[in-house]
Amino acid sequence: MSTGSFTRGAVLVGVATMAANALVFASLVIASRWLGPLGYGVVGAMLGLLLIVAVPCVTFQTHVAREVAAAGTRGGGRGNSSAIVQRRMRQAAAGGVAVLVLSVAVAWPLAGLFDLASPLPIIVTGMAALPYLLVTVLRGEMQGREAFGALGVNFIVETVGRLAFVVVALASGLGEVGVCAAPAVGAVIALVWAWRAHLRSAPTGDDSRDGFLSGLIPTLVYFSAFAALTNVDVLVARARLDALASGDYAAAAFFGKIVLLVALAISIVLVPKVAVRHGERRGSIDLLAAALVYTLVLCGAVAAVGFVAPDLVLALTTGSEFAGAADVLGPYGLAMAAFAGVTVCGLHLLALGRFLAAGICAIVVPLEFTALIMVPASGRDLAWILAATGGLVLVLVLAASLRAEARPRHEIPGEITVGGGELV
């Protein structure tokens, strides 16, 4: 399996994810221009919460992809992958209900903290958890089988539904509550499509390791810590800055998330290919190098635009109403470029069944939060703290990835237990 195969897979997924991200981009541009800084500040804060809610979603997708890829190296084939999906779907359903209940429980206190007129934006954001968890299990199966075309179509199906609902909601006068509900609607549409595809293509199977949680907990720790590192700043900005300034910061964060999403296609392809290499007792340093170079070059180029042409970025995205975001775009884009590199190295480690990245990110989270609440209350200072944190974490996880390649452990990822895994 050459880097050429990796590149072809990344291009295929990249085209689909760029199309899907363009649809998300369009929906948020429409929302920002329709609602203005005050209303979009609420949406920006809820996007931060949504990404935190999405932590168990990406955990399940990555873990299922690794399990399915490893099952193929053991000769389990599609039967085992179907059993893996059935087991993880049950766990995802339970987790989705738990997240929904939690979001309702904390809605009123958070509404007061974020100065929201109603807890409804928080509640409808939490409603996305159940369908997202379920659909990401099915996406993990597609990813593990390297069915990148079907995976890309599913992303597009979701975002088309999301965009359509944003337009209808705003036209109907639902305002920021309607925009916050759009991700849940898109996830339900994608889930229906993915489930029908799963029933048509996946045979039944049996897996004697039913209920086995190999590596799931440290994978969850990694994604939880990573989500906190890349989203707690938006929540701090909402709490520390005035309503207008927090809206400007949310606009800069919107641009930054575009930078971070550039790494999505590369990471999707990286996980199953590295897991297969590991199961076959072969190194994957060439895949890591290719993924990291592609990510840093592409993300760095996008981030550079935030420094040299911030007014152009605002003109193409949220509009001139968010002029206060101009001096935040550059450092925020740089921060997300660094975290995109962290994504590549972290997922490389997870695909190897090594969990040192989880410990690194978890340790840095309170350090970043402390720095964010101690610096002067300005969007630019918050963004530079984020950039410094991203650079530090990238150096640490890259060193961990290189160490893992130099000292390989050739266990099959699906057979590593939590007790036997490398947690720190």
**Lookup: tokens for 337:** 């470029």
Would you state the structure tokens that stand for residue 183, as one six-digit string?
């991700």
3-class DSSP state of 166 = helix
CB 203: neighbour CB atoms within 10 A?
A: 9
Average pLDDT in the 131-153 region?
90
pLDDT bracket for residue 210 (50, 70, 90): very low
pLDDT digits (tens, 9 = 90+) for 160-174: 999 999 999 888 888
CA 133 to chain centre: 13
Instruction: Read off the pLDDT band of 417 (50, 70, 90).
Output: very low
Report whether pLDDT(416) > 80: no
- Residue 393 has a pLDDT of 96
What average pLDDT does range 223-227 have in this prediction?
A: 88
Four-CA torsion 191, 162, 97, 198, nearest 10 degrees: 10
Candidate from 239-253, 272-286, 359-373 with smallest mean pLDDT: 239-253
Enumerate the β-bridge partners of residue 422: 354
Q: Are the beta carbons of 60 and 88 closer than 8 angstroms?
A: yes
Q: How far is CA 167 from the centre of its chain?
A: 24
What average pLDDT does this structure show over 196-218?
A: 60
User: Is the pLDDT assigned to residue 4 strictly greater than 70?
Assistant: no
Among positive and negative, which fits the CA dihedral 257, 162, 53, 173? positive
- Interior/surface letters 72-103, b for 16+ CB within 10 angstroms, e for the rest: bbeebebebbbbbbbbbbebbeebbeebbeeb
Tell me the pLDDT band of 2, cut-offs 50, 70 and 90.
low
State phi, psi for 24 to the nearest 5 degrees: -65, -45
- pLDDT number for residue 409: 63
Percentage of residues in the chain with pLDDT exceeding 70? 88
Q: What is the model's pLDDT at position 318?
A: 66
Question: How far apart (Å, rounded) are the C-alpha atoms in residues 11 and 148?
Answer: 10
Quote the radius of gyration of the chain (alpha carbons, Å): 20
- Ranked by mean pLDDT, the top range of 111-120, 232-241, 364-373, 410-419 is 364-373
Q: Which of 50-59, 374-383, 415-424 has the lowest mean pLDDT?
A: 415-424
pLDDT band at 261 (very low <50, low <70, confident <90, very high): confident
- Mean of pLDDT values over 355-367: 93
Give the global pTM: 0.76
Helix (H, G, I), strand (E, B) or coil at 408: coil
Reported as a pLDDT band with limits 50, 70 and 90, residue 22 is: confident
Answer whether residue 78 shows pLDDT above 80.
no
Quote the DSSP letter at residue 422.
B
What b/e string do you get for 350-376 counting C-beta neighbours within 10 Å, with b at 16 or more?
bbbbbbbbbbbbbebbeebbebbeeee
* 3-state class percentages of the chain: helix first, strand second, coil last, to nearest 5: 85, 0, 15
Q: Residue 233 to residues 229, 239, 332, 395: CA-CA distances in angstroms?
A: 8, 10, 10, 21
Average pLDDT over residues 201-206: 52
- What is the pLDDT, as a whole number, of residue 335? 93
**What is the pLDDT averaged over residues 301-325?**
78
How far is it, in rounded angstroms, from Cα 235 to Cα 243?
A: 12
As a whole number, the mean pLDDT across the chain is: 81
Confidence of residue 326 (pLDDT cuts 50, 70, 90): confident
Q: Are 298 and 262 in contact (CB under 8 A)?
A: yes
Contacts with 112 (C-beta within 8 Å, 6 or more apart), sequence order? none
Give me the phi and psi of 309, to 5 degrees please: -140, 60
Nearest Cα neighbor of 7 from 260, 258, 259, 265 is 265
Range from 45-49, 366-370, 414-418 carrying the lowest mean pLDDT: 414-418
